[in-house]
Structures are given as structure tokens and as C-alpha cells.
Amino acid sequence: MKGSILARPNLKLFVLAAILLLAVQDLLSRGHSQSSIVHARPRSGDRVSDETLHSWLVEATQANTPDAYMRISDEYYRRGEIKRALFFLRRAEQAADMDN
């Protein structure tokens, strides 16, 4: 059994194959990954004024419609205030649940 393949495996070949597989997997996963909301960059061009946002808040509390809360959530997202955007997104979901 001097020439047996299982007696002394070539470890260098296994390491190179593992590195090659990791490199291919990394290249494939980078192209298909979704971006996180934390790292997403909001648009800065089309922001509304603070007075308009305040009037939307008053309208949303009076009407309690999901569309009004979604509009407010979108505006806070554009401003980069993610916590407030998520808060009003939850409010929109609650208003939609109350409608159904």
C-alpha cells in the first residue's frame, strides 16, 4: 500500500480548492445581495418644507389613513431620519389594519 491515495492526501490542493470556492462564492454573492436600510442613502433633492410636513402630520392624525402616514414616512426617509420613518411606517400599518 505504498501508493495509496488515502494514506497521504495533498493538503495544499485542498487549501487551494477551498480558497477558489470561497472566491467564487464571494463574487457571486456580491452581485445578488440586497442593500440594508441602514446603509441606504436617501435622496436629498425633493424635500418638502417643515410647514408642509407639519400640516401632513395634522392631517394624518385627523384622518388616520395609511396613505397619509406613508407620505410622512417617505419624507422622513428622504431627510435621513430612519427612526421616525419607521415609526410612521408602523403607524401606516396599524391604520391599514384598523381599516380591514
Is 69 inside a domain boundary? yes
Residue 24 clears pLDDT 80, i.e. is over it:
yes
Contacts of 79 (CB under 8 A, 6+ apart): 42, 47
pLDDT per residue over 3-23, tens digit each?
565 666 778 888 889 999 998
pLDDT per residue over 33-73, tens digit each?
555 444 455 455 567 888 888 898 899 889 888 899 999 99
Cα separation, 84 vs 50, in Å, equals: 14
> Is residue 43 in a domain?
no
pLDDT at 7: 63
Flag whether 54 is in a domain.
Answer: yes
What backbone torsions phi and psi does residue 20 show, to the nearest 5 degrees?
A: -65, -45
**Any domain includes 56:** yes
